[in-house]
Structure 1
């Protein structure tokens, strides 16, 4: 007798990847250059299972270029919080077009949640965690539903909270790739120069890390590159990259 028939309406809720998979990949790609790693994974184990998430910030062009050299059809996800600098939106369109991505997916906050939780649009001024939950975390969760894995542009040098960043980790049952985890600022600058990549227009004005307009300020010489994010608040991450998040974004 053959195997019992499977119900076609059964939903597979098993995680696509486990911590053991992250450990396996971290060990496998130790010492392997980023371009080679991405080429192997995007055309092999992760083909058709992964999305590329980009803020189109000051350093985003490097990772976008690396992925585009392998597969321009990788879905490119951008969360428009509706508080984004106009310069970032223009830079997004310029880079996506220039690098040839064919599947740019833009996600926005749920208008029903905004109406209920941020009717005035000023939640950022008194509850930045709640604002990020509504405008960043919730839309990204929707964006990632079709994928088992996703690519993040985080770098270890960006802040103290990212210093021990691994190349692979598990986030809510998905494999998260941090291909630039061990890149330095000098590495990024050299890559920009080598490939003549355009810079974000706000970088030259003193914004080395660029998020939403109300919560991003210029960084003074000698400060942490992310010092201009949520200045004056005890907050260093938007919530997308916080480990052990709950089942729902913080509203």
Structure 2
């Protein structure tokens, strides 16, 4: 007997993923090419349970194209921190339309939190961790509430903090998928060329890792690709990917 059609407003009661699940998937897909892996997951056990989170940065087009080849109805989450480059917003719209995605979800910081914690809009200049917390981490947490898994564009070569990045890991009870974890820069460049994908307009100016405008600078020759993020600060991640944890005497920003 066929299963009844699933209502769009039914609550998914499937259990959250565990570290054992991530280990099992890492073993299962070891050596499997990225496109095959995404096709098996997005058309199989993770269908309807997964979103892709994209910054629409310098290399985002590769992962977005890979996912679009499988299912253009996969929700695409973009966090607009309200500190983004105008070029990034234009690139987001151009790339989403070109690849045919039909469910782009834009999340912004909670205005009540901004009024309380960043009324001047200058928190980035004296507390970049706190700024990322309210402008990136909190909106993404809201955005991911309906999903049990999400796809990230992180790559192991981007910086020393991302060495040995696994394809699958657990983040706050959700399965986090890093399909490009083991892709070298050369493979990304070849994919751009093969599929004639548009580049982020700021890349030609030397912006190799693109985030919020106040905290992104040009990467100098010989530096790793993320050296232009939070230059001058002891900070390498925004908090979405295991950034700073508040100390024992501190309270979370939100």
TM class, shorter-length: over 0.9
In the alignment, structure 2 segments of 5+ residues that lack a partner are 1-10
Separation in structure 2 between the aligned mates of residue 239 and residue 250 of structure 1, nearest angstrom: 12
Structure-to-structure mapping, 1:1-251, within 5 angstroms? 15-242=15-242, 250=253
Q: CA deviation at 1:250?
A: 4.1
Q: Contact between 1:148 and 1:175, CA under 8 Å: does it hold in 2?
A: yes
Q: Matched residues in 2 for 1:176 and 1:249: separation? A: 23
In 1, distance between residues paired with 2:109 and 2:225?
27
Asked whether the equivalents of residues 51 and 151 of structure 1 are also in contact (C-alpha less than 8 Å), the reply is yes
How far, CA to CA, are the matches of 1:155 and 1:249 in structure 2? Answer: 28
> Is the 2:129–2:244 contact (alpha carbons within 8 Å) kept by the matching residues of 1?
no
Please give the root-mean-square deviation of Cα atoms over the aligned residues, in Å: 1.7
Q: In 1, Cα distance between the equivalents of 2:13 and 2:115? A: 32
SS in 2 for 1:220: coil
Greater CA deviation, 234-243 or 211-220?
234-243
C-alpha distance in 2 between matches for 1:186 and 1:197: 15
State the Cα distance separating 1:41 from its structure 2 match: 0.2
State the shift of 1:164 in Å: 1.1
Structure 1: 5+ residue stretches without partners: 1-10
Q: Is the 8 A contact 2:77 2:143 kept in 1?
A: yes
CA distance in 1 between partners of 2:82 and 2:138 (Å) = 14
- Distance of aligned partners of 1:46 and 1:245 in 2 relative to their CA distance in 1, 3 Å threshold: farther
TM-score (norm: length of structure 1): 0.92
Over residues 97-123 of structure 1, what are the superposed CA-to-partner deviations in whole Å (9 max), with x where a residue is unaligned? 000000000000000000000000000
Tell me how far 1:16 sits from its aligned partner: 1.5
> What secondary structure does 2:169 align onto?
strand
Q: Give distance in 2, aligned partners of 1:50 and 1:172.
A: 15
Aligned 8 A contact 2:117 2:253 in 1: no
Secondary structure of 2:58's counterpart equals coil
For the residue of structure 2 that corresponds to 1:52, the secondary structure is strand
What is the Cα deviation at residue 13 of structure 1? 8.3
User: The residue matched to 1:187 in structure 2 has which SS?
Assistant: helix
